[in-house]
Amino acid sequence: MRPIIEFCASNMHHGTDKVMKQLEEDPDYDVIEYGCLGNCGQCYMEPYALLNGEIVNAASAEGLYEHIIAKIKEIEAMYDLLGE
């Protein structure tokens, strides 16, 4: 299953634009930018993205990238265990 990573254009002031560009370089990920993801309070406060519809957040853009990659590896490991 290809991870779907969604970013909010309004969250780019936290540096998530760099994270998005980094992830776009990997052809195994589907990276999508939306004008709004509807999480305005969180969007204002911290860097975040949606990974397969679930919120992944961090205190910094660098931390967000690390959390996204860790979560993807966790999901892949689960699929490996299930034999899918």
Reduced to 3 DSSP states, what percent helix, strand and coil does the chain have, rounded to the nearest 5?
Answer: 50, 20, 25
Residue 45's SS3 state is: helix
Average pLDDT over all residues of the chain: 95
- Which residue range forms the structural domain that includes residue 40? 4-82
Phi, psi of 23, rounded to the nearest 5 degrees:
-70, -30
CA distance 8 to 55: 12
pLDDT of residue 84: 67
Vertex 67 angle, CA 61 and 69, to 5°: 105
Which helix or strand (DSSP H or E) is residue 53 part of? none
Give me the number of domains the chain comprises.
Answer: 1
Compute the average pLDDT of residues 44-59. Answer: 97
Residue scoring higher pLDDT (80 or 19): 19
